[in-house]
């Protein structure tokens, strides 16, 4: 009887301390595990929009990853307000500070849509690669995940 009581109170207090150690940072847009996984690779959570992540996987050996969003997503990228779209399925290869062979994120510039093929990160900047062309933005623009402004129909 006593041991049972001890066990229950142990569970109870474990639960309480667990809740206190894991406060929900922001009930509106709590980052998913996929968002926080990005930070393990030196990338900010703002690279992924604030939307439902159905699933994601990373091959720890090769770095190959797939992220499945609940739906396609249209966002405005800071600071220049480029329109960008995320496909429901995003793939690539991730290692610390570098995403390569990226597929599924496109950005509109000069009246055309371009696929972002790679992203690099250092302590201060994110460097987006569109083929041979690169564009650099301060990391601090990506502290928060941008909200989806609706889906888009892939044409
Ligand atoms: C992960 O990548 C390695 C190296 O390319 C490959 O041999 C292995 O089969 C992959 N694992 C999975 C689960 O796909």
Distance between CA atoms of residues 105 and 70, nearest Å: 15
- Best CA proximity match to 94, nearest among 144, 41, 48, 45: 41
- Model pLDDT for residues 32-58, shown as the tens digit of each residue: 889 889 999 999 999 999 988 999 999
- pLDDT band for position 30 (50/70/90)? low
Distance between CA atoms of residues 52 and 129, nearest Å: 26
- pLDDT band for position 28 (50/70/90)? very low
Q: Which residue has the higher pLDDT, 152 or 128?
A: 128
64, 66, 92, 95: residue to mutate for ligand 1 pocket, most atoms within 8 A of CB: 64
58, 60, 61: residue to mutate for ligand 1 pocket, most atoms within 8 A of CB: 61
Average pLDDT over residues 64-72: 95
Structural domains of the chain, with CATH:
31-142 (2.30.240)
61 lines ligand 1 (CB under 6 A): yes
């Amino acid at each position: 009887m006593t041991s049972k009581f001890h066990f229950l109170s142990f569970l109870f207090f474990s639960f309480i301390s667990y809740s206190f150690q894991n406060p929900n940072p922001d009930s509106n847009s709590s980052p998913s595990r996929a968002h926080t996984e990005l930070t393990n690779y030196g990338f900010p959570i703002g690279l992924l929009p604030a939307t439902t992540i159905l699933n994601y996987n990373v091959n720890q050996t090769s770095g190959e990853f797939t992220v499945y969003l609940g739906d396609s997503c249209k966002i405005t990228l800071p600071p220049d307000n480029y329109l960008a779209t995320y496909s429901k399925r995003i793939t690539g290869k991730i290692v610390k500070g570098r995403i390569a062979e990226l597929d599924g994120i496109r950005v509109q510039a000069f009246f055309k849509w371009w696929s972002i093929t790679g992203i690099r990160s250092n302590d201060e900047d994110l460097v987006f690669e569109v083929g041979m062309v690169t564009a650099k933005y301060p990391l601090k623009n990506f502290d928060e995940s941008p909200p989806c402004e609706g889906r888009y129909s892939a044409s």
